[in-house]
Chain A
Amino acid sequence: QTVNVTGVVLDDDELGLPGASIQEKGTGNGVVTGLDGDFSINVQPGATLVISFVGFASQEIAVGNRSNLRIVMQPDLGALDEVVVIGYGTMRQEAVTGSVASIGGESLREVAAGNVTEALQGRLPGVQISQTSTQPGATQQIRIRGTRSLTASNDPLIVLNGIPFAGSISDINPENIESLDILKDASATAIYGSRGANGVVLITTKAGFKGQQARVSYSGFHGPKTVFSPYPMMDANEFMQMRDAAGLFQNEGASESRDVNTDWQDLFYQTGTMSNHDVSVAGGGEKSTYSFGLGYYHEEGVVPTQQFDRFSMRAAVDQEIGNHLRIGFNTNNNFSTTQGSQVGLYNVLSMSPLASPFNPDGTRRRVINMPQDDTFVLTRDRLNDIDGQWLNETRAYATYNAVYAEVKIPGVEGLKYRANLGLDYRQSNQGEYTGMGINSPNEETLSTAAVGNSHNFHWLMENLLTYDKIFADKHIFNVTALYSTEQNTFYSSRMTGRGMLSDQFQFYNIGLATEEIQINPGDQQYNQWGLMSYMGRVMYSYDDRYMISATLRSDGSSRLSPGFNWHTYPAISAGWNVSKEPFMNNFTNIDMLKLRVGYGQTSNQAIAPYATLGGLGTRPYNFGDDTYAMGYFVNSLPNQNLGWEYSETWNIGIDFDIYNRRLTGSLEFYDTQTRDILLNVTLPATNGVGSYTANIGETQNRGVELALNGLILEKRDWSWEAGVNVYVNRNKLLALASGNQRDESNWWFVGHPINVIFDHRNIGLWQEGDPHRDILEPGGNAGMIKVEYTGGFNDEGVPLRAIGPDDRQILDLQPNFMGGFNSLLKYKNFDFTIVGMFNSGGVLISNLHSSSGYLNMMNGRRNNVSVDYWTPENTGAKYPAPGGLASGDNPKYGSTLGYFDASYLKIRTMTLGYNFDQTGNWMSAAGISRFRIYGAVQNPFVLFSPFNRETGLDPETNSFADQNTAVQGPLPSRLLTIGTNAPATRNFIFGINLTF
């Protein structure tokens, strides 16, 4: 005869403690607490329970006649206390055998940011966050341990509260995040199978816990955003001097005058703002928990009209019904608007500083006339004038929902069945309108309007069986089995119209367009993909000393060819907690030392649906003015054998904790080989069809990651903690299409990283009298760019040929190492935080300086980046002589001017905070349990950056290679560059956190 005792185990912050062990003293009977710290155990009447959890002092509690217990654990100083989410479960950090990096919500919020990616920058080793845009609301690119795939996606899987996330990461409000865990190696990601091939980001949002009184929190921040540094363009004097040096454009355009000096950027930028408000309430009853939150984020860019707004709402409810059933749901909803992406900077930067924004009569100029170009004038005042006549708005609504039910199988202690149902929907509506004559030199250019809609439906059904058992106090088993199916359907449509009757219609009634209304078939999209999976995982640990985890997963994908679309792969990892061995007892300085090793395979199916089928290109055509027809031709070939791309990873790690927790850290090594890479292969023109997708090629990523955290100082009122992470990733292409060593059309070369530059090597400038210029550069001039000649010489040392395409070289872009650091200094109630990141070596591509940007043409046609250029009197300059030998509109080899040393060290944020005392003052009288205020400056300064030293600009990238440039140069669009996107900003923030 037993009695059932239920309860919840809480940590010292009264948060549920999952994975805590509940043992009936003196028996082998025990259970482990669930996700929220809850447990249920059948014990003999009068039993005593032993509650233990690593990092906390064990407690013994006599049950007495109680049937529900609320146990608050106190930390056991000198022990680790972290719990990590590992996918389909949680685990004590100590027992983790795979590579998992974690950061808590509080640490994440040390960088006030609108989205998770921004907050994550530089925080975790092996997690590279790169900026792809600087516009409000933009998210950044996440790469976990480098780039594996050539054309397939390299984005990690985001899992929100256990459900693979089908939306945009900007839809997740950082304020809601309780914890964020990143699974890096295959042994950890294998449970997510093919979806986890590029790593997994597990995001857990805040929840209530049992027996918690309703707790209301508010957090908010607000502050201005200012331009970090304007783009370094020439002023009137410099510009005139360059025209003179070039001997070109000597007669000014109609709007130009030698006595004018206009700083167009100064007339353009505004002070932006960012602000965030978030209110949440959480609580719990005896058998239920709930939480609810509302958030509003608002960001205005320094580029006028660029703006991002997000309203978010989330709720989570968990209810136990009887002793065996638990149900719940959580929902995250948001509505966002993004505005102003139509406003580009190229015109602002390229306008002549000799042109005035005003007509002689004082009215604003619509257009300025330069010698060869007429440019629509963009200033903040003009943008104000044409408010409502020029807009681009995207409104998106997204709802991400998970419903679950969990049944404890009666009769088998520790066996549970859980069903998860994920239902997500995201729709976005984009509208564009450009009024008559707007952004055109011609006043009568017809207005255009466009509307695009997209819908994404995603459902996921997971069936999970878990079995937790502890035998003989020392053998802890966790077994998980999964069967899941998932389907995603995307549908989008778009229409455009020309010649709207009136500005007031904007894009709201394209049916009223007076000219053509277009529904371009290329803009109408539909795709659907499905995935079926089986997975099993066994985790076993013995005496907290030896741990092993084994996973087997099988995935079937709709995207791959029938017969090749299933793949099964294993993963296994083991850990040895050396410090628990008896022979370590003498090493008292070592609190924890653990060795981990893991091996696993993961797969990647991340190609677009229907890639196996081939496709037709379309070419609309007119036969005379009134007969229209659509042309079709084969532009991609089918591949009936398209199968999985897969990676094998080895991971070795050491975790340690020494000197009584003064120094903790981990060191990891990994080696990933990716095979059968899914590749869109460019075929020679003579094949008759441009490309096809195939399993071709092999890549390797090897790396080292080190994370250290130290408590450097701890005195009465003082404490100082600091952390640093450093990581290195070495990427290499091991094989390409059928044994090829080089694919010059895609810039892929065996033995080199996936991302390289294939270009001439700039070795300075040709000087007057340098030998062999006539041979190497026919038609060239002194002061032109000198690139390395790789050809042969005759006996007299004379080059055999002119410099040509054979002299292009493979230039490595990879940094030597990257990382981040953080420091927390506390004095009494004050705290001061610094978060920074750094990058050593590698190549930063600036399209501002390269020929793609058309801002360094060195001829005076349009304004130019302010650079030190060659003249007969200034032969030591870095940049070529104006007006010299050109290739296209730019100096010959102008692309090489865009390569800079990418090194930098950057302070992301400095925050000074103050926590008001809780005890015995006005706060408790007002019911306030926590009150903190802080001020922060983001992006205050950059050090050790050659690019920053030369240009004053932020050395972080802001665009893909095909964005924010005048023309698409030879760079593959996957590379990240600095282009003419909204300038980087320096933000000043004031914030409050308040809890009742």
Chain B
Amino acid sequence: CTDILEETPRATFEPSFFQTQEGIQGGLTSMYAHLRYIYGQAYFYNTTLTGTDEVTYAQSADQNFLVMDLSGQGDIDPNSSRADVLWNAAYSNINTASGIIEFASEVGTSDALIAEARFFRAFDYFQLVQTFGGVPLDLGAGELEFNITPSRTSTRNTVPEVYTKGVFPDLVRAINDLPDAPRLTGTATKTLARLYLAKAYLTYGWWLENPNNIPTYPDTPRVDPDGHNPQWYYQQAYDIALEAIANPGPFRLQETFYDVNVAQNDRNMELLLYADHTETSEFYNAGSLTWGNGEAPDNFAGWMMTWNYTVLRSSRSNTTWTNDVESVRREAVQALGRPWTRMAPTIGAITNTFADKTNDSRYDGTFTTVYRANIGRTTPIPGPVYNANFLPVQDGDAILTFLNEQPAQAINFPSPFNLGANLGAGTLPGRSDFVMGPNNISRIVYPGLWKLGPYRTDSGTGLGEPNAGSTRPFNIAKFSELYLIAAEAAVKGATGPQSARDLVNVLRARAGVWRWDNNGNQPKIVDNSALMVAATPAIIDINYILAERSREYYGEGYRWYDLVRTQKWNELAGTYQIAGRNYGDRTAQTITRNIQPYHYLRPIPQSQIDAMEGDRAGYQNPGY
């Protein structure tokens, strides 16, 4: 009768399931799924952009965004920093990877599958070491061992230890063992592993060189345990990137920049890694298809740089401005989506980074600059509807346009501001759309980030489900970056068959090709490649590489890492311009940021320190 004291769980797994073939498969899947807890998580997304030359906080920003801007709106501290998102998601994945690597050979898993685990362990360590400095390699069972014993202590390794033990060996092995073509849509490949090894070498080269004397932690000499100098690593980065370009497998650049980012072409063969989502299954999407609360695993990053365009109003009367037609309603289309108004582009990003908006298709393929009436969607708003200059507008017509250039003729801004489409926009003679000039961009009215807008096929004639997390994959790594990694390595002295200019021009030439005018909402078959290449400076410096990276990857979560790697954060983002946070604020102010050397590492999250026992002093990065 002692049977009743024995336990058989029938609805849950024990950890030993992990040591079976099915468990290994499930472990691999969870590593892809863990990406959703980092990429597309808007607060983490914000840490990669807010405070850089690309992005500042917007009108509805809360502390999560304000502190990241380093412009006197509160401090980044162990509680307020949202880099905790990465910290809290990475280690359990690293442990899972170690478990797979440990058990897989016992159950006869192929080297190619084990290599996926190796890739992810290296990937997480690479992200951690860039964000926090040296991080622990030992989770409680020994360095890089699968841990199933509770441990409330932790010791941080140094940056060189993390790279030489936790990043490089796994990636080298992964390049060897991974397949050319992905096992399933979006899984790891040789090309992906090469991209990350090249990038890790490049980043580590910069770290060893340390041109601006930025501190590291835990403190350690800038000496490579493997005995190489920065130059050696730059050359390695260059060689591996070119090897990847020469042996692309199924991957290739898209014909146009628009094709890289248009939702209908998601998961195209330029994309090497993404945190996938779907509208075909709410369960496997792991997030509601109708309402997102703004938490992982939803992809809600795109909400942050979407300003509240639903405030736009047109008029029912063509004689007096009645301000009573909500002409651009919240809609689940790539140009619109759910407005959270937490992050905004700086004016410099619009006017300097994307100075060329005519030849270069990348401005048009990055931002929503024209807000079009969706009064025809269910439930339709009956016309006639009048807009700027009391001119009639139809469904699909522009209601508000962010002009490419400040016009020669001054924009007429009517007063009070509700006469200007209800948000202080202006008019130009003969135009039925309200307009804003690039210098009028404020924290409350600014071009949206088209790249990350939502896309749904189930909206029918209606406005769809704009409040759900995006069902599009959040892109993490692209084939195009191999060119920019190699180019950056070349700028840093690596040599080989292609110069930095050659490499950069591959992407610039592609950027000159148009097939669709996104904001004009019409076909545009133009090839400006020659003009784009001709405009490339003869000597490429690191600032040019960084500007080119921003044009290519604006708003995708690269920027803080790029500026930190190259130690150019303070130089390029120390000041920025934007107008204020109220409707009617149209005059750019120059804001100065207080970026200190210690900010080049994010604070270790308070939750880690809180849960630790023993000596906790010395675990935190200095300055926090």
Mark A residues whose CB is within 8 Å of B: 247, 250-251, 254, 369, 371-372, 374, 440-446, 485-487, 498, 515-516, 518, 520-521, 524-532, 556-559, 562, 565, 609-610, 612-635, 637-638, 681-690, 692, 694, 737-740, 742-745, 778-779, 802, 804-805, 885-889, 892, 967
Interface pair A685/B87, CB less than 8 Å apart: yes
**Neighbour of A614 across the interface among B15, B293, B422, CB < 8 A:** B15
The 6 closest A-B pairs by CB, nearest first: A530-B4, A631-B30, A688-B95, A624-B185, A632-B26, A631-B29
Across-interface contacts of A887 in B (CB, < 8 A)? 62-63
**Neighbour of B608 across the interface among A498, A524, A621, A685, CB < 8 A:** A685
With contact pairs A443-B462, A638-B15 given, residues A628 and B281 touching in the complex (Cβ less than 8 Å): yes
| A520, chain B: closest CB distance, angstroms | 6
How far, in angstroms, from A634 to B94 measured CA to CA in the complex? 11
Interface pair A487/B4, CB less than 8 Å apart: yes
Interface pair A779/B74, CB less than 8 Å apart: yes
| A660, chain B: closest CB distance, angstroms | 54
How far, in angstroms, from A355 to B278 measured CA to CA in the complex? 36
Across-interface contacts of A885 in B (CB, < 8 A)? 74
Across-interface contacts of B135 in A (CB, < 8 A)? 686
Interface pair B5/A556, CB less than 8 Å apart: yes
Among B143-151, B221-229, B406-414, the one that faces the other chain is B143-151
Interface pair B283/A518, CB less than 8 Å apart: yes
Among B158-166, B199-207, B231-239, B609-617, the one that faces the other chain is B609-617
Among B31-39, B104-112, B189-197, the one that faces the other chain is B31-39
* Per-residue interface assignment for chain B, residues 159 to 189, with 1 indicating a CB less than 8 Å from any chain A CB and 0 otherwise: 0000000000000000000000000111100
B77 within 8 A of A: yes
User: Can you offer 30 A-B residue contacts whose CB atoms are under 8 A?
Assistant: A444-B462, A444-B463, A498-B289, A518-B282, A521-B11, A526-B10, A532-B1, A557-B5, A558-B4, A613-B7, A616-B17, A619-B29, A619-B33, A619-B286, A620-B284, A624-B184, A624-B186, A627-B184, A629-B26, A631-B27, A632-B13, A632-B29, A638-B15, A681-B152, A683-B150, A687-B91, A689-B92, A740-B613, A745-B607, A886-B63
How far, in angstroms, from A528 to B12 measured CA to CA in the complex? 12
How far, in angstroms, from A887 to B80 measured CA to CA in the complex? 9
Interface pair B9/A485, CB less than 8 Å apart: no
Interface pair B6/A689, CB less than 8 Å apart: no
Interface pair B608/A615, CB less than 8 Å apart: no
Interface pair A610/B7, CB less than 8 Å apart: yes
Interface pair B75/A802, CB less than 8 Å apart: yes
How far, in angstroms, from A683 to B15 measured CA to CA in the complex? 17
Interface positions, chain B 220-279, Cβ under 8 Å from A, are: 267, 276-279
Which A residue's beta carbon lies closest to that of B283?
A: A518
Across-interface contacts of A526 in B (CB, < 8 A)? 9-11
Interface pair B13/A443, CB less than 8 Å apart: no
Across-interface contacts of A254 in B (CB, < 8 A)? 324, 326
Which A residue's beta carbon lies closest to that of B612?
A: A684
B131 within 8 A of A: no
Interface pair B607/A633, CB less than 8 Å apart: no
Which A residue's beta carbon lies closest to that of B141?
A: A688
| A786, chain B: closest CB distance, angstroms | 16
Across-interface contacts of B74 in A (CB, < 8 A)? 778-779, 885, 892
With contact pairs A251-B418, A526-B10 given, residues A444 and B460 touching in the complex (Cβ less than 8 Å): yes
Q: Kindly name the residue among B28, B30, B63, B607 whose own CB sees the greatest number of chain A CB atoms within 10 A.
A: B30
| B519, chain A: closest CB distance, angstroms | 25
Interface positions, chain B 271-305, Cβ under 8 Å from A, are: 276-286, 289-291, 293, 297
Across-interface contacts of B30 in A (CB, < 8 A)? 617-619, 621, 631-633
Interface pair B12/A610, CB less than 8 Å apart: yes
Across-interface contacts of B32 in A (CB, < 8 A)? 621, 623, 631
Across-interface contacts of B611 in A (CB, < 8 A)? 682-685, 743-745
| B127, chain A: closest CB distance, angstroms | 14
B379 within 8 A of A: yes
B215 within 8 A of A: no
With contact pairs A487-B4, A532-B1, A622-B280 given, residues A616 and B66 touching in the complex (Cβ less than 8 Å): no
How far, in angstroms, from A264 to B85 measured CA to CA in the complex? 39
Interface pair B290/A440, CB less than 8 Å apart: yes
Interface pair B378/A485, CB less than 8 Å apart: no
| B400, chain A: closest CB distance, angstroms | 15
B2 within 8 A of A: yes
B308 within 8 A of A: yes
Which B residue's beta carbon lies closest to that of A499?
A: B458
With contact pairs A615-B14, A627-B184 given, residues A621 and B33 touching in the complex (Cβ less than 8 Å): yes
How far, in angstroms, from A339 to B273 measured CA to CA in the complex? 47
Interface pair A629/B283, CB less than 8 Å apart: no
Across-interface contacts of A967 in B (CB, < 8 A)? 293
Interface pair A443/B75, CB less than 8 Å apart: no
Across-interface contacts of B610 in A (CB, < 8 A)? 742-745
Across-interface contacts of B286 in A (CB, < 8 A)? 619-621
Given contacts A251-B583, A444-B464, A687-B91, 14 further A-B contacts (CB under 8 A): A254-B326, A498-B289, A610-B7, A614-B14, A619-B29, A619-B33, A620-B286, A622-B280, A633-B93, A683-B611, A685-B607, A686-B135, A687-B140, A804-B79
Interface pair B5/A686, CB less than 8 Å apart: no
Across-interface contacts of B2 in A (CB, < 8 A)? 532, 556
With contact pairs A685-B88, A743-B611 given, residues A888 and B150 touching in the complex (Cβ less than 8 Å): no
Interface pair B462/A532, CB less than 8 Å apart: no
Q: Kindly name the residue among A446, A559, A622 whose own CB sees the greatest number of chain B CB atoms within 10 A.
A: A622
Across-interface contacts of A441 in B (CB, < 8 A)? 330, 467
With contact pairs A251-B422, A518-B283, A887-B63 given, residues A681 and B150 touching in the complex (Cβ less than 8 Å): yes
| A435, chain B: closest CB distance, angstroms | 13
Across-interface contacts of A689 in B (CB, < 8 A)? 92, 95, 147-148, 150
B596 within 8 A of A: no
**Neighbour of B150 across the interface among A250, A559, A627, A687, CB < 8 A:** A687
| B109, chain A: closest CB distance, angstroms | 15
**Neighbour of B148 across the interface among A369, A612, A631, A634, CB < 8 A:** A634
How far, in angstroms, from A628 to B286 measured CA to CA in the complex? 11
| A44, chain B: closest CB distance, angstroms | 46
Which A residue's beta carbon lies closest to that of B146?
A: A688
| B278, chain A: closest CB distance, angstroms | 4
Interface pair B152/A446, CB less than 8 Å apart: no
Q: Kindly name the residue among B98, B283, B605 whose own CB sees the greatest number of chain A CB atoms within 10 A.
A: B283
| B486, chain A: closest CB distance, angstroms | 29
**Neighbour of A498 across the interface among B95, B282, B605, B613, CB < 8 A:** B282
Across-interface contacts of B88 in A (CB, < 8 A)? 685
| A403, chain B: closest CB distance, angstroms | 20
Interface pair B77/A442, CB less than 8 Å apart: no
Which A residue's beta carbon lies closest to that of B582?
A: A247
Interface pair A688/B62, CB less than 8 Å apart: no
Interface pair B277/A622, CB less than 8 Å apart: yes
Interface pair B186/A623, CB less than 8 Å apart: yes
| B328, chain A: closest CB distance, angstroms | 12
How far, in angstroms, from A505 to B74 measured CA to CA in the complex? 53
Q: Kindly name the residue among A487, A526, A632, A688 whose own CB sees the greatest number of chain B CB atoms within 10 A.
A: A688
Which B residue's beta carbon lies closest to that of A740?
A: B613
**Neighbour of B152 across the interface among A445, A521, A532, A738, CB < 8 A:** A738
Across-interface contacts of A886 in B (CB, < 8 A)? 62-63, 66
Which B residue's beta carbon lies closest to that of A780?
A: B74
**Neighbour of A684 across the interface among B152, B293, B326, B466, CB < 8 A:** B152
| B464, chain A: closest CB distance, angstroms | 7
* Per-residue interface assignment for chain B, residues 299 to 329, with 1 indicating a CB less than 8 Å from any chain A CB and 0 otherwise: 0000000001011000000000000101000
Which A residue's beta carbon lies closest to that of B86?
A: A685
Q: Kindly name the residue among A532, A626, A686, A885 whose own CB sees the greatest number of chain B CB atoms within 10 A.
A: A686
Interface pair B92/A633, CB less than 8 Å apart: yes
Interface pair B1/A779, CB less than 8 Å apart: no
B73 within 8 A of A: yes
Interface positions, chain B 407-447, Cβ under 8 Å from A, are: 417-418, 422-423
| A988, chain B: closest CB distance, angstroms | 40
| A488, chain B: closest CB distance, angstroms | 10
Interface pair A616/B5, CB less than 8 Å apart: no
